[in-house]
Structure 1
């Protein structure tokens, strides 16, 4: 395939030819950053005589790494650098986790790891963490009086979907581990906060460092008065309005209780965290958080490793640098490599839930001074004008416009033109109305459904849209993990069948198998068999009263009774293979509505089982059930015949880095303020504060206020990413008075003047099917 050769813009050329050690590039959406990275790589080879093995290139995802490698290899071949292209195919173009893994394997002795260590899957990590938390709660806790008190306080407080009497506490511990592991907070940092006194001192120290400098010296040190009261008095003395978090009323006793409960939670989290990583070490199977921290520790403790890396790599190039977390920044800055090029866009930082810290990228941009890639070459001008005008209002100080204004002509007055933009004026999230608008859009414009992407904020709305589109006769598919693979009916049916084959005396599993498409007998037959326990012993001689069930049951017994005799000696994938070969299950699925997707999911389950050949049918079935309980997500497998008639549905996060002719954004009604959780966590500072009950806690309020502000900023960045996926048409839901008072639909409507002015060349679709230009 011929490689596209294009002429770089002046901005792009400045990055490609930059001659300095540290280069920070801020790249707007659609500004050609991948093209620039490839051309920079080529320049390093051609101009600076570097070999591909000397250029460490880091990307955010495996897919991005594969695409980057393909483009680099193709470009090198296009200029006659065949040897370098061959070297680049196996060279260090990889994700940061792949680099960490390679680093630890190559330096396993210094890292204290077996070179054959495994990377633990997310579902396996979740199961192990769950187990460690339960073991911690079952322990004696003799050294932790605060933990004992907290356990007694919260015992019996269940959560929806859980049967554990300690569900609320288990959830709180899991949140601490999830949000602190993988940050720069270490176990040693948590250890110093295991007393109520230490917690309270830390809280006060952090808030004093964050408040206005002229207020700080006015805060009196009087432990007989609540810190909230002293802080409020200091603001009053300074003639300033106290922040919202300082307005709550609390007593010294309230603050002491909050500190005791927080210390108790940290004691439990510390023990669970310790047990989790000790067990990972024992198994020599580690998750990504431990992978990163062990890689950083290796660089901190082994000068020889750093020296070897500094001689091995001449340049480090990092893509999507705005989404790098603090631990990863420590790793990259600790490699000892002087020449670094980081490319990112603060406006597209949307991975705060993975501890990405956009302030680190901004800080390095300020230190070094940026080279800019500002002009979006992907999106039509009308959409760019709309996005630029909207975000110039939302981010008046820092927004970088993407549209090339062209040469200035003082004699020409340019009016905005938002061609290609549609606003769907809906007062609330409405699946039916969304589908009606999609149908109208296709009928009016004649666009192919395969060019449409519906981007949602979450998985539930994606599933709702998918189902309603199918009901309307429009083919659609959910891409990238939005559906819960392990709770699909066909997956549950096979889990029950595996359990029944491996343990035939499990009556529930056998009856569920008989009712499922694996057999397909009637409810009458199930009811009769259910009265004859054990069912498997009654099955051989059982004669159903329903005429149509006789042939079905005879065919089922012909393969089931034979296979169950030795299924427990086979691996799960072998049992599945036998099941598919002997029964009519696959043919039964194929005849059902959406049978192609069901078959694709069944094939995917077989592939997953083949990756764990050590698991028998019962163990694999139990693993599926455990994953269902943990709500682990695995994406549906794509059907083979999806084509240009199929609408794509995916979450906004999954769409990052992609582009579509038409983008539809109907999911704009999530409340922005959110709901304060009983456990507030500040990952960057390693700070935790709890509020189990109605007692006021200024520290809990402060963390929640910071989180609310950060979440709002990130929601706007998520919206920016979503809007900039569109090439030729952007349809966005908005309303000046939505039923949810604080949501993106209202923010967009307010900032574009929806309802107060005519939007130039924008088609506004109203609820009920009306539309107006």
Structure 2
């Protein structure tokens, strides 16, 4: 039984009231959620039927894992209490429980109530890109209608927001529509906003907000002036400069006093600041004696004073911005924004009608439609915004359809989803969740605002808990113990976020209650968080000194070489590549990263790398599809002609085009092929044309008669495009991309019936809008490679060692510069082109909304940094680019900071994540040298900084180079093996000998071939053959993460399916019981103890070099050809290697397999005996059909 903490037990046992669990990173929230649910379902007195459970989360994987964990826990309970009929019944009912994503729940709700919608049976879900295309087409019609019926009004709008075409106006309409669709009963929100604009209520809100901001900035002016005065007082040998510094301080204090007297009169304050001018720092030359008496410390103080004066000037400039707002100007802006906003709403309403008509016609909706429809099915809303249940929701409420509602990742709920959850809960008031709701989440990990997630919902629920005065109100339970990470990781996270995160930036106060407490027990000493220092200023002097990825690769290689210990399930083992994760802010192309890691011999597993549609092989395939529809398009045809598929040269294409410049290329090709003159002069060219024409005609027939996926398969077969792709250096990636194209085509076919032409339009739209598909994964996490992920995709994951990279990546503020700015809490703002001044004029409202949106954007970025910083179990590495600008910024930051908490007006100036880290560390005395500063006691505070390790790549690289030079020597055994395997010998007998042969060919007379048949390329896969299923089992064993599979086979299969390595039909075909038996068996136990496991290990050797008996030697007539093959798995033990062969044959006994495959294994053993550094001591066959294995004694091989 797990040892639960007091907080966890409180969460598990709390029932009968709404519960919100604020669970810190790594606090075991899922275990708590499962334990609480199982206890409630097993309690016969409560009698909660398992089919009345509703558990919602946000990903299919999470939903599947939750169902599996609940099923397993209930099964264990049933085993412990075999006589308990209630639990036996609950096992059956759990299969009927709603454990799903919230999108799935809404989709089911719509399908079950189609009579209340315009949709029909069989309604499907559109992909996001298809939905976008529908919206664009509908908008085309709306704009055409507007140009025709309201030309003057439309042209005026275009003149306000557009320069060259109407694209900006179209983007504003789509943006407003998307925003309104994220708000329940958006017409009420629109009414409220327009009333605030028309009634000038918005003005008072804005003026009050700017007044509060002015007070905050005035405080900074005061503290900076005091700091400057303190520095100036110490300048004994800078008498003239000292006097001017102090005069500026006095002047600043007088202005601040004048502002205080002006009070809330914004105009008066503005006039005070407009009359303000600084005393110039001229004429401050020192005397000769002063120069001689000046100490080094005093020189430093003088430089600090100059920097401080600059900071003071900046502070007053920012203060002046708060008083630059004119109330009269704000009134005009409100009137303008109100008028234009109403015009835009007319476009949006018409667009919504058009889009809905198309969707009803297609009987297809997107996920946002499912949520909107579900809200309308469950709730009514009056003109004041008060909601009440519809008859459908009332029936759910009164029948007790959902007696237990679990919400995982509650911080990611959006406004629509919150309304839905309230409607189906047992709450009497739509202001709060019901008593049957158990919500778990962590607002500090809310990182999906771009998907309309609203962390304020979580915080509002927490506030309701604080206000609760009885045992019926919302109860909040905090889980702060972290069972994932060492203290060194948590100390750094607590230090960083306690100084940065607050109610304005991060939208949560990082108090002691929020701090992470170490609850995990580790073997071995703790490791401090490491700061890897690089410097991009040194690019020309030393590339390694600035290259983040080179520095990270060097550190990982060093730790692998040192066999850094890792805690793994209660034991300590040496680290391996898959223990390391590199986190980046955004997706990266990966070329530079792969290059740097490859230089160190490290493989990289990354995902969602862009550039798929523009890759050479996919561009070629798309052009082949285009000419199959119409060969009269010159560019696609020329592309295919110049590829190896048709084999034309540049000169050939030019000659064909010159045949008749006015004709299309394909028409010229036809004429060249029929021309007697061309046949005489360019016979080779004519042959190419005839071959190309034949291919085009075939493709046209295929295109007209085949579905999309069948056509692509036929093109693969007819053109041998895989052979072409494999010839490139990155052939494996290209072939994988070609396979993945079939998956993308299949997904398109499942959601559309527009065929090849529709697919090409679909792809064209994606490229036009800057979209892309993910490339195929050729190296996965199961390949024991260094994992590279974005910070977003790391959520919920953990790795022993984590590297935070690209922290200088600039925040994307582009959304805050749009002409239309929207905020659910604060309203709408607009900026437009003012032709009188030839400038883009920003209204008071746009500046106000921009500031609020910027705060929310920065809050999201800070929470994202929190997620990234809490993924490491053993040690966290933070890569910092410390340039001269970084050091200069650090000096500026110092004048803002008087205590541990970073002021909001400083933290909001951050342009990247590194800025925040520097801010938090800039006043720490132990880190002053990191930012190029000398230690000066008065400049620093004692903030109880966690232990940190600073790594400088230059020093590590030099040391490593020296060590390698000292260890260089001749490896005799390796040299002998190279000579043996690759020495040249001229033997004329080999001219008549087959160049190479596979092991399967040599043993083809065995009872059965051991490689599965290739499926018919024209066939549509609905059922898999036994051979295909066997291939899929082998693919799983090749790609799976064995450690993860041993713990949870279903989750590992889901991961491979989601990564594209397995299709759904392939994943469903895998025999789970056979895999479970393997991972529970002795062979895997031995394999898991090995430090060197090789999967799909290929070989090619000279037949004469291998050591086999006379019987097998005769099979190749004693010649000197090459033998090749691939072993399923080889793992190393102390006294040799063990070869494992997986089989799916239909047999009754293991002895049949030994007899059938002994020759194959003997050849494998003989080959690897000369290739590996130790002999193959044992060969094992594992049968998935029999769920058992055997150590084989080989026929035709040596005894062992």
Return the TM-score normalized by structure 2.
Answer: 0.56
Q: How many Å separate the matches in 1 of 2:528 and 2:927?
A: 18
Equivalent residue, structure 1, for 2:501:
395
Within the alignment, does 1:247 sit opposite 2:347 as a pair?
no
Change (3 A) 1:669 1:564: same
Which residue number corresponds to residue 207 of structure 1?
206
Identify the residue that residue 314 of structure 1 maps to in structure 2. 403
Q: Distance in 1 between matches of 2:144 and 2:767?
A: 24
Matched, 1:173 2:173: yes
State the distance in 1 between where 2:688 and 2:194 align: 63
How far has the Cα of 1:31 moved from its partner? 0.8
1:406 to 1:638, Cα distance in 2 relative to 1, 3 A: closer
Is 1:419 equivalent to 2:547 in the alignment?
A: no
Q: Larger RCO: Structure 1 or Structure 2 (Cα < 8 Å, ≥ 6 residues apart)?
A: 1
Match of 2:1044 in 1: none
The worse-fitting range, judged by mean Cα deviation, of 436-445 and 638-647 is 638-647
Q: Of 913, 921, 936, which residue of structure 2 is paired with 1:744?
A: 913
Find 2:699's aligned residue among 554, 557, 563.
Answer: 563
Trace 1:276-675 onto structure 2 (pairs within 5 A): 276-301=355-380, 303-310=390-397, 311-337=400-426, 338=434, 339-367=436-464, 368-395=474-501, 397-399=509-511, 400-404=514-518, 419-426=528-535, 433-446=547-560, 447-460=575-588, 465-466=593-594, 469=597, 474-479=602-607, 481-516=608-643, 518-519=645-646, 521-531=648-658, 533-539=663-669, 542=673, 559-613=695-749, 614-639=753-778, 643-672=782-811, 674=813
Report deviation, 1:98: 0.3
Contact 2:830–2:842 at 8 Å: present in 1 too?
A: no
Larger radius of gyration: 2
Q: Secondary structure at the match of 1:509?
A: helix
Q: Distance in 2 between matches of 1:78 and 1:547?
A: 78
My pick for the range that moved more, 239-248 or 145-154, is: 239-248
- Structure 1 range deviating more: 352-361 or 5-14: 5-14
1:505-552, Cα deviation, whole Å (9 max, x unpaired): 222211112334544543333333444543334446558999999998
1:584 Cα offset (Å): 1.1
1:722 aligns with 2:868: yes
- Structure 1 CA distance for aligned equivalents of residues 442 and 876 of structure 2: 21
**Structure 1 contact 660–725 (Cα < 8 Å) conserved:** yes
1:69 deviation in Å?
Answer: 1.5
- 8 A Cα contact 1:254 1:696, kept in partner: no
Moved more, 70-79 or 745-754: 745-754
Equivalent residues of 2:18, 2:475 under 8 A apart: no
Q: 1:135 and 2:135 equivalent?
A: no
Q: How big is each residue's C-alpha offset from its partner over 1:440-498, in whole Å with a ceiling of 9 and x where there is no partner?
A: 1122111533332222222246665456656876432432x352543333322211110
Shift of 1:258: 5.1
CA-to-aligned-CA distance 1:687-730 (integer Å, 9 cap, x gap): 22111243241111110111111111111100000111122232
Distance 2:782 2:534 in 1: 30
- How do residues 703-722 of structure 1 correspond to structure 2 at under 5 angstroms? 703-722=849-868
- Asked whether the equivalents of residues 530 and 949 of structure 2 are also in contact (C-alpha less than 8 Å), the reply is yes
Q: Return the offset for 1:633.
A: 4.1
Residue in structure 2 matched with residue 218 of structure 1 by the alignment: none
- Quote the Cα distance in structure 2 between the aligned partners of 1:211 and 1:235: 12
What is the SS of the residue equivalent to 1:610?
Answer: helix
Normalising by structure 1, what TM-score? Answer: 0.85
Structure 2 residue aligned with 1:222: none
Question: Per-residue CA shift, 1:306-339, capped at 9, x if unaligned?
Answer: 2332321101100000010111101101114340
Q: Which runs of 5+ in 2 are unaligned?
A: 79-86, 215-263, 274-315, 381-388, 427-433, 465-473, 503-508, 561-574, 834-839, 890-909, 931-944, 960-1200
- For residues 322 and 171 of structure 1, the distance between their equivalents in structure 2, rounded to whole angstroms, comes to 29
Question: Does the 8 Å contact 1:25/1:343 carry over to 2?
Answer: yes
Corresponding residue of 1:220: none
**Secondary structure, counterpart of 1:667 in structure 2:** coil
For the Cα contact (< 8 Å) 1:104–1:115, is it kept in 2?
A: no
Partners of 2:408 and 2:172 lie apart in 1 by: 34
* Runs of 5+ unmatched residues, structure 1: 158-164, 216-229, 408-415
Q: Describe the superposition over 1:563-615 as per-residue Cα deviations: whole angstroms up to 9, x where unpaired.
A: 32342232221110111122210122223233233222222221222244433
Q: Distance in 2 between matches of 1:687 and 1:719?
A: 28
Q: Describe the shift of the 1:358–1:191 C-alpha distance in structure 2 as closer, same or farther (beyond 3 A).
A: closer
Aligned length in residues: 740
Query: Residue 98 in 1 paired to residue 104 in 2?
Result: yes
Q: Distance in 1 between matches of 2:213 and 2:623?
A: 67
- Taking a change above 3 Å as real, the CA distance of residues 205 and 130 of structure 1, as seen in their structure-2 partners, is farther
Q: For the residues of structure 2 that align with 1:387 and 1:62, how far apart are their CA atoms? A: 30
Residues 236 and 242 in structure 1, CA contact (< 8 A), matched pair in contact too: no
Residues of 1 paired with 2:93 and 2:955: CA distance? Answer: 58
Range moving further from structure 2, 36-45 or 470-479: 470-479
Contact kept? 1:22, 1:341, Cα under 8 Å: yes
| Cα distance per residue 1:194-234 (max 9 Å; x no partner) | 89x9568464365368677999xxxxxxxxxxxxxx98349
CA–CA separation in structure 1 for the residues paired with 2:604 and 2:703: 38
Q: Does the alignment pair 1:763 with 2:869?
A: no
Given that residues 52 and 84 in structure 1 are in contact (C-alpha distance below 8 angstroms), is that contact kept between their aligned partners in structure 2?
yes
1:685 is matched with: 825
* Closer, same or farther: CA 462–199 of 1 in aligned 2, 3 Å: farther
What SS does the corresponding residue of 1:459 show, helix, strand or coil? coil
Query: Residues 58 and 409 of structure 2 are in contact (CA less than 8 Å); yes or no, is this contact kept in structure 1?
Result: yes
Distance 1:146 1:256, change over 3 A: farther
Contact 2:550 2:597 (C-alpha < 8 Å) held by counterparts: no
What displacement does 1:648 show?
2.4
Contact 1:419 1:762 in 2 (8 A): yes
Please state if 1:110 is matched with 2:116. yes
Q: C-alpha displacement at 1:261, in angstroms?
A: 4.4
Q: Is the 8 A contact 1:690 1:700 kept in 2?
A: yes
The Cα shift of 1:659 comes to 1.4
Report the secondary structure of 1:113's partner residue.
coil
**Is residue 18 from structure 1 mapped to residue 14 from structure 2 by the alignment?**
yes
CA contact (8 A) 1:511 1:530 kept: no
For 1:477 and 1:344, locate their aligned partners in 2 and report how far apart those are by CA, in whole Å. 29
The answer to whether the Cα contact below 8 Å between 2:194 and 2:338 also exists between their aligned partners in 1 is no
Residues in 2 aligned to 1:629 and 1:402: alpha-carbon distance in whole angstroms: 46
Contact 2:582 2:803 (8 Å CA) reproduced: yes
Q: Relative to structure 1, is the Cα distance of residues 135 and 769 closer, same or farther in structure 2, using a 3 angstrom cutoff?
A: farther
Aligned with 1:232 (options 246, 249, 266) = 266
Alignment check: 8 A CA contact 2:38 2:73 kept: yes
How far the C-alpha of 1:560 sits from its partner, in A, is 4.1
Q: What is the deviation of 1:123? A: 0.1
1:74-85 equivalence runs, <5 A: 74-80=72-78, 84-85=90-91
The verdict on how the C-alpha distance between 1:529 and 1:248 changes in structure 2, with shifts beyond 3 A counting, is farther
Give me the whole-angstrom Cα distance separating, in 2, the residues matched to 1:553 and 1:231: 84
